Structure 1
């Protein structure tokens, strides 16, 4: 039932009972599974006989889930508005219309569903919903409520929706730039007599001199205010008006009070109303437009998934390779050199490109340069694809190389005291004892160093293989360092752990499992649904939201409003209490970077630290800017894409150890790039060994094979190979050849691409690639016909339409025969839902699903968390199945109750695939572990799965390299296809 606030999904009590027991139509079961997944993530909630999903959650659903729930698709609709009256008048009114096939229709919608005719129904996107809700709310206001402030807030909301992708013509408001003041800050001016004068700032970079003449526009007694500054209108709510009055009440500080004011400004100004402090670490160089680090060519090559005759890529590829002016200049030079040699093609970044058409090449490069020069063309965070473009951040000072000096410091590191092992519930393994002593020794040096020195002992990289107990070692080391601080009579500073969302609950549990008595005052989980609300300043936007709304080039420290209660002025509600353990995600670190960078942390632990591998992201800048005595970066895969990852992680842990990126690239990356293909693995091995020596004691890297002699055997079986390949054993049962509808559909995708590739249609190759991937899983998966798939009475027959699912079923039957448990790794949510329904019916199970929608941090004691699902899975005796996404659950979880893993849908990145597999291959596993890689083959040519296996295999580094794998992202592969 569609309602004004969302959509309710109902079933009778008997129907619900049948769904839960599996005795119902497949579609209803698929819907039940999907709605349950939404409840687990907090996007929906249970009601009597059903579920309720708010409009905001509906607008964020993926197309696959909309299809399962039989909701209409989203659409890039175009809207237009009609404006009556002036924004200064109570009669001001805005009406919206939707344009469909060139015709204008009044808005006819309920909740998140737009329904203009019986034929045209659409689910609104978040931006569309934001705009239409704002118009409806404004329309419902009485004339008395429609003052200038509310009218202007409607305009501001429409402008915000347009910035977020709403296709709407706002020509009526082109001359009006409306924004709400984010904070009230302070400007201090020294007067000739030695006194100082205080003036408020608005947090948007407006110059002090310009504001001086604008304060008279405000009514000092009014609850709200409006200021016109140039072509902008700034709205001030009640809190901001109180802040302005607070500053003006103490506007002049006499000369004899200036020193006291500078030392303790809170004695004069209420810090709850006006932001006063900055306090960043020595590495912060200020706040401003984020500096893009020119990366240059990396050691990565792609593959042409559609190539049938080895033809070079078209010049259009160059557009994707040019991400900076330096790239454009380099590519122009390489093309010019090739032409001087009479060549018609050139190999750039591992791709052969046709350069015979000089005009076409010139046009592509010209358009790429134009794109780079457009406003707001700053880099989007690569590890956060849904993040808004972030042009402003803390700016990080480059660190010059001080390797010998730093290595000399590290050689002196040794614990001053033997750890008190009686404080802990668990006895460490020998390798854990050594790791703890290593951490404590370096940590003591860091604690005793001058925090104002950049080239002091700062941190280290704990790069142990997955499953060796990095969390346990880090917690014990933290406890020992805090014990030393207490013994020395010093303050025990708070500790921060930054980790993926799925691991926050794991850290809480590990504290309880590790200590007989916790060394921490308490634990704060800085996450929505937990403790974030308590420490967030009311009516204050996240700091990244403030950043996104700041004008370029007009930002300074004083223009930022801190969003968290930190510092002594926050009183008992301050976040940074002594001895507190704060758990936060990487997204929270990015969103609240300025508040968190002000805190003087005793130690910061970055779990799964590969999340800060890219220097051109806001989260990496925030991580490097944190003020901390000691930093520990923990990751079993410090290289996921290239050696840039390793440099960035080490530069965060210990600035100066490897110098800046240009120097590092010259020393370590270029030798690999210059090596011949047949010699490249040897050079990689040499570079890896050189890097291990370069980082010395700042990195600890051990493998399970080296340290855990009692671990059972692990065997990887593959269906895409015919002979042993890189430790993978061929298994014929995993290799099935496509036939029937699957083969026909696969060939049709290839034929469609080949017949249209000359048209140079934007996105054709990438959409074809994803269709091949989808068809390889199931030929009807990319259609919207989920009902026929879900309701099929013969499950084995409908699964048998897919060669890959045939291989899956045989493998599952074998595992059931052994009475063992298995994890199926799968990314596509639509297939996750279908597979659960099919396998429940085939095997009489209640298969659990852990993916990005599964709640990672519980708000109450229940089994809806990842940990709860795993406990339920492991508690069943004998055969059981768990479906996981390698993206959401492949990190940080332990599932030793299972000893079989099936990668039904392989991840583009072999490092992430290895992380996923090692959820079962770690301390506590007693059975032999089997990893299965099923593959769908083509009878006449290499199929998608074979291409993918070959590409992933080509990225394996030799065992003695600095890390075990080098991976290629999907973006790298698309560049190799000529789709950059």
Structure 2
């Protein structure tokens, strides 16, 4: 029997998850319901909610956000736009039929849908899961997406966190700070105070050169004015940055104790306040001593150094407790979104869930580029915990001069072209006969070898006493650039990822009478600082630098030109290197020259770098060896990638 039912009488049951504390819990004095007083204002000392400071993560979560403080996961049901009471939902479920009488009208609902809805009532979730769902407005229940609304203090917390730089200013510049913070730095200080007073932590991801260090110094000084947050600050940073941190603290916070926990005679005796500076290597070796201290604030500078959460360094860092954690990184996403997970899971454990769940729910979809909605959800989730400003943003650094970036293509010499084609032919034959790890190793060897040939044949051939002139198109172009730069009385930075290539340049330029100096990973800290001083004083006009060793922590504003002699696989690393010159304090236009061998593998690297920039921008609102995707190419795809093109395409 067919029954024709009027469409206007068929109402679908709709459900929206509502997460938050119970009414009684929200109103209880001193409980999370007092979020404006307890959490958003005054910086209560966080604990893990399990009786031990910091619990398994070594600090970072206040009790009202700990795993033990479960929140109610309820549902709001409606039929035809009318919200149902629990009794009405029970009546629908018990009827067991699609046609029921509800509020003096007949409605048509799916009995199976009603039963499922009732069975999902009264769930409990951890506050970090609840906060994640509240920020994104969605969660997954039994593998299907469900809309989420927050209630009570959780909703007020969501509103407070949603706009990192919005709302009323909660703190002023500390009186003890011997500097005047810029407006964006004051907003950064306000944000850091809000996040650390909540125990949530965060990542300050401003561009290099915008003053992350002075902002953290201001945060330390502000926290010393409140007994609940006062205490020493431990800064973990690369070795190259220790001197910079010490100078900045002595300059902007005069009288504040600062100690280097580094070297054979390191100790922590009588540390009660001020700053303690250590390196990632020392922290890993001396974790127990550092973890035994009570730190008011723990800062991980250049936090991308712990982007692998399974590394010994990252594991050691997690064991050090503190009332609050702050990560500093101008490049929170270098190669993939798992690096972002590693940083934020350290500052705010549990926010992004497990790494596996994060990869499934967000990273795979965003990195593939086919799911803009996933990028939008991830952005909504991480943006409150990651403050990122660029030099190019309106009003951030209007005093900075313009920066011009130019790709300068150059042809290979006949020797380079012959060597390039021979290496491609021979190595592709070996790759075709290999598989597994052996094949991947050969691919990396091929890509590295081709880049070295593009630089100079002597680098690839590892010649002891090479004939340098007339063999490299790039070197000829560099000579032309330097002739012009030096004639103008300007100074330049020349970056290369290869120490061997830098040595060739050093020898070649010395023979031409050009004064240079070379900074690499083996340069002692004291000598690094002396090199910076010589360059800034104008004693040495050409500074040769190893890309990875000198890409951070150096202030080289005398340079008006930056030359990238070869391309790195990672755009963020190149940008950091450029920012050695293009940073606060630079008062002259900066020209960036990227040297590219035409028609070679270097041409194809550029497109890959652009894709990585787009991925980071999609999420943030804003390397190492050859990327894994290149090692997984088929033989035909690899041959097309490395083929020498005569037309430069």
**TM-score w.r.t. structure 1 length?**
0.47
Superposition map of 1:434-833 within 5 A: 434-443=187-196, 445-446=197-198, 457-485=199-227, 492-515=230-253, 517-520=254-257, 523-528=258-263, 532-535=264-267, 574-575=268-269, 577-672=271-366, 680=370, 683-684=371-372, 686-706=373-393, 707-718=396-407, 734-760=408-434, 762=438, 763-789=441-467, 798-833=468-503
CA contact (8 A) 1:401 1:660 kept: no
Q: How far apart, CA to CA, are the structure 2 residues paired with 1:614 and 1:657?
A: 17
Provide Cα deviations, 1:777-833, integer angstroms capped at 9, x if missing partner.
1112233432243xxxxxxxx333111111211222222233211100012212212
Corresponding residue to 1:905 among 563, 566, 580: 566
Provide Cα deviations, 1:87-119, integer angstroms capped at 9, x if missing partner.
xxxxxxxxxxxxxxxxxxxxxxxxxxxxxxxxx
Report the equivalent of 1:237. Answer: none
Q: How far apart, CA to CA, are the structure 2 residues paired with 1:458 and 1:518?
A: 29
**Secondary structure, in 3 states, of the residue corresponding to 2:203?**
strand
Residues 412-421 or 636-645, more deviating: 412-421
Report the equivalent of 1:976. Answer: 632
Deviation at 1:901, TM superposition (A): 0.7
Provide Cα deviations, 1:285-339, integer angstroms capped at 9, x if missing partner.
9xxxxxxxxxxxxxxxxxxxxxxxxxxxxxxxxxxxxxxxxxxxxxxxxxxxxxx
Q: How far apart, CA to CA, are the structure 2 residues paired with 1:670 and 1:433?
A: 36
Deviation at 1:656, TM superposition (A): 3.0
CA contact (8 A) 1:494 1:576 kept: no
Provide Cα deviations, 1:706-742, integer angstroms capped at 9, x if missing partner.
2112211111111xxxxxxxxxxxxxxx322113222
Corresponding residue to 1:282 among 37, 55, 59: 55
Report the equivalent of 1:427. Answer: 180
Report the equivalent of 1:875. Answer: 537
CA contact (8 A) 1:776 1:802 kept: yes
**Secondary structure, in 3 states, of the residue corresponding to 1:498?**
strand
Provide Cα deviations, 1:59-82, integer angstroms capped at 9, x if missing partner.
xxxxxxxxxxxxxxxxxxxxxxxx
Deviation at 1:519, TM superposition (A): 2.9
Q: How far apart, CA to CA, are the structure 1 residues paired with 2:489 and 2:557?
A: 15
Deviation at 1:923, TM superposition (A): 0.7
Q: How far apart, CA to CA, are the structure 2 residues paired with 1:592 and 1:689?
A: 41
**Secondary structure, in 3 states, of the residue corresponding to 2:333?**
coil
CA contact (8 A) 1:631 1:653 kept: yes
Q: How far apart, CA to CA, are the structure 2 residues paired with 1:406 and 1:623?
A: 29
Are 2:557 and 1:896 aligned?
A: yes
**Secondary structure, in 3 states, of the residue corresponding to 1:600?**
coil
**Secondary structure, in 3 states, of the residue corresponding to 2:173?**
coil
**Secondary structure, in 3 states, of the residue corresponding to 1:704?**
coil
Structure 2: gaps of 5 or more residues: 1-51, 59-125, 135-152, 162-167, 639-649
**Secondary structure, in 3 states, of the residue corresponding to 1:908?**
coil
CA contact (8 A) 1:602 1:629 kept: yes
**Secondary structure, in 3 states, of the residue corresponding to 1:839?**
helix
Q: Closer, same or farther in 2 for the Cα pair 1:534/1:715, shift >3 Å?
A: closer
**Secondary structure, in 3 states, of the residue corresponding to 2:172?**
coil
Q: Closer, same or farther in 2 for the Cα pair 1:977/1:416, shift >3 Å?
A: closer
Structure 1: gaps of 5 or more residues: 1-278, 286-396, 447-456, 536-573, 719-733, 790-797, 859-863
Q: Closer, same or farther in 2 for the Cα pair 1:889/1:398, shift >3 Å?
A: farther
CA contact (8 A) 1:688 1:960 kept: no
Corresponding residue to 2:519 among 828, 834, 850: 850
Deviation at 1:914, TM superposition (A): 0.8
Q: How far apart, CA to CA, are the structure 1 residues paired with 2:609 and 2:347?
A: 29
Report the equivalent of 1:131. Answer: none
RMSD between superposed Cα atoms in Å: 2.9
Deviation at 1:513, TM superposition (A): 1.7
Q: Closer, same or farther in 2 for the Cα pair 1:491/1:663, shift >3 Å?
A: closer
Report the equivalent of 1:82. Answer: none
CA contact (8 A) 2:229 2:323 kept: no
**Secondary structure, in 3 states, of the residue corresponding to 1:627?**
coil
CA contact (8 A) 2:304 2:343 kept: yes
